[in-house]
Structure 1
Amino acid sequence: MQPTYLFVYGTLMRGHANPFAQRLRQYATFVGLGTFPGVLYRIEWYPGAVYQPGAPGRVQGEIFELHEPARLLPELDAYEDVQEDPARSLYLRREVPVQVPDGRVLRCWTYLYNQPTDALLRIESGLFT
């Protein structure tokens, strides 16, 4: 079974007014905050996360419950530059375990950065602002 939750940590979070963030709020309900183990980088004006099970750092973001995943996810895939050929994709949509403040773990879709990170600035707090 596919997850019905989406974890966002950048320009899709609440407070951002771009059309895709607005679409997310139209077709999903904010559930709460969450984190997953990994590293967050500043790409340019947007972030990129790398999931690393067991990493000491945490990527912080927001969880949304998707009402119409089949309708919304292809639009968000296009926004995140997900390509049919994964090698050409800027991001990949993957399922990750996201921990919520009460300790539960939700299976969530998220967009993971899919390019080299060597020259990127690491966001130590794990929170994109």
Structure 2
Amino acid sequence: MATFETEFLFVYGTLMSGVDNQWSLRLWRACGQPSEAKVPGRLYTLGGYPGMKDPLDGEAAWVHGQLAQLPDSPALLADLDAYEGDEFVRLRRTATLRDGRIVPVQVYMYQPEVDENQRIWSGRFTFAQ
């Protein structure tokens, strides 16, 4: 995976704070408190977890999630990359915070094609979906 100077990771699914899995717990132990944020994009349910894709041209769509301030830990990112697997690639995007500030972030983007019937139109993933 690519390395960026960005010090934030935007998460929108199984890595969010409060999700009970070893990867989320490890991320938030290292990063502290999350901040609410949103990133332009489309969100899809993939059977127990979500995947994010860029918005369509001219589309004003948002994915809502959390921002983690990353520690200087290449090992943490390498482990998260392995957890996300080959279907996801960590890319640079921009996030908007609740106060309107825009910051550069890294985010895991889903690469395979998806059916629009899987789209989460609210842009918010819940495990009940």
TM-score normalised by length of structure 1: 0.88
| Alignment match of 2:118 (pick from 103, 117, 121) | 121
**Which structure 2 segments of 5+ residues have no match?**
none
CA RMSD of aligned residues (A): 1.5
| Alignment match of 2:108 (pick from 104, 108, 111) | 111
Residue in structure 2 matched with residue 73 of structure 1 by the alignment: 77
Q: Whose strand fraction is larger, Structure 1's or Structure 2's?
A: 1
Residue in structure 1 matched with residue 65 of structure 2 by the alignment: 61
Quick check: 1:30–1:62 contact (8 Å CA) kept in 2?
no
Give 4+ residue runs of structure 1 displaced > 6 Å after superposition: none
Please report how far the alpha carbon of residue 30 of structure 1 lies from its aligned counterpart in structure 2 after TM superposition: 2.6
Quick check: 2:17–2:34 contact (8 Å CA) kept in 1?
no
| Alignment match of 2:15 (pick from 6, 12, 31) | 12
Identity %: 35
Separation (CA, whole Å) in 1 of partners of 2:124 and 2:58:
18
Residue in structure 2 matched with residue 85 of structure 1 by the alignment: none
**Which structure 1 segments of 5+ residues have no match?**
82-88
SS at match of 1:30: coil
Separation (CA, whole Å) in 1 of partners of 2:92 and 2:19:
23
Residue correspondences, number:
122
TM-score normalised by length of structure 2: 0.88
CA distances 1:21-72 after superposition (whole Å, capped 9, x unpaired):
0110121123411111110000010000012375311000000101133121
2:36 counterpart of 1:40: no
